[in-house]
Structure 1
């Protein structure tokens, strides 16, 4: 980060504000100027694209275990005028399971999401989905290879928990300029998801300590 010519504290503060709050890049440029630091809004975006994948990887090593009852659903993100699909799930306590952005909403995308989520979080006991035939087909295929099948529930209303959780993510993406590349739509919402999970207490901290969400985010860069 030395070549960026800014203190790491400034860089991390800008990146955290960008993914933690409903702020545009222009807002961040103005806020830093009020604090005596001149930072172009496009520079903040580059910092986010560079740092967030590293911080996400560090967070995954410290993510707390989640429950075995999952609520899974898809929401939408616009890329160059086209809608892409953000697959997400939470457990019965509202803890985020995992996320994945895909270009299509089909069996291939659903299978990739479940494979990723299970690899990171273990096999659930129950998964609640909506009426998506693709999600159902994938879960049935997963069960075909298991001695103890995952219980599948198909109902729109029990998924209100994950649909409500979508809103916290979409509030932040709404002020981000239109995602121009699929790389951006993978990285930036991923950073929002990490900050969202930290705020919900999903990061392991040293025993007896109670750092703020901001301090936990900064710890990931150490």
Structure 2
């Protein structure tokens, strides 16, 4: 990705420049817009395409952009908050497991059909493999599955169980709930996992946490996250 001009960069097999594709993906993930609303915004700017094209862009390039952001993110905080919420997919209950650090930065998510000890251990394995790092403290609710996974995989880490101390993780589910309503629920586990993995990284990266920054730091963070051209942004990271 070195030696090219972002405004004129293209992807093989795609007739639109990379800047337009990244702008569409950015609009879809950072704001609560439907695919048809993104299509309308692009049409107002003289870019004619269908919402199905945007869907394919978000599916392919959303995962690609999220993967690059995940690789280049700084080391997470030393306190991890874990929580799970239910998702109704195809009329059946499934569970979205989520881990965030003490600053509210999403570390990883996993959609599973159960929330037993085996499901908790599966999430712990995914989390530790992706970060290659263990926290100083782990905060969860009183679900017994967490205790089983914790004793087996992170016994040296301090573990606190409290429904009130875990508000950091519970609050991080709000963007997911908004998108779930806007999308009229997810159609399959694969679709939920694919979308939410990308959404968690892109949404969080382009939404600096204002309460943790001074005004100067916030302005700098906003300047470092340009509106939409993720291709150019990732190239500068």
> Which TM-score applies when normalising by structure 1?
0.85
- Distance in 2, matches of 1:42 and 1:196, equals 21
RMSD (CA atoms) = 2.4
Aligned residues: 213
Which residue does the alignment assign to 1:220?
A: 234
Q: CA deviation at 1:200?
A: 4.8
Query: 1:3 is paired with a residue of what secondary structure?
Result: coil
Query: 1:72 is paired with a residue of what secondary structure?
Result: strand
CA contact (8 A) 1:128 1:159 kept: yes
Query: 1:6 is paired with a residue of what secondary structure?
Result: coil
Which residue does the alignment assign to 2:224?
A: 211
Which residue does the alignment assign to 1:50?
A: 60
Pair 1:78–1:37, CA change in 2 (3 A)? farther
Query: 1:71 is paired with a residue of what secondary structure?
Result: strand
Query: 2:76 is paired with a residue of what secondary structure?
Result: coil
The runs of 5 or more residues in structure 2 that have no matched partner are 1-10, 210-219
Query: 2:110 is paired with a residue of what secondary structure?
Result: strand
Matched, 1:140 2:151: yes
Query: 2:16 is paired with a residue of what secondary structure?
Result: coil
Alignment of 1:65-84 (within 5 A): 65-84=75-94
- Distance in 2, matches of 1:168 and 1:213, equals 21
Q: CA deviation at 1:221?
A: 7.1
Which residue does the alignment assign to 2:141?
A: 130
Matched, 1:9 2:23: no
- Distance in 1, matches of 2:176 and 2:235, equals 22
- Distance in 1, matches of 2:49 and 2:74, equals 35
The runs of 5 or more residues in structure 1 that have no matched partner are 203-207
- Distance in 1, matches of 2:83 and 2:226, equals 26
Which residue does the alignment assign to 2:3?
A: none
Alignment of 1:75-114 (within 5 A): 75-114=85-124
Q: CA deviation at 1:158?
A: 0.5
Alignment partner of 2:71 out of 46, 55, 61: 61
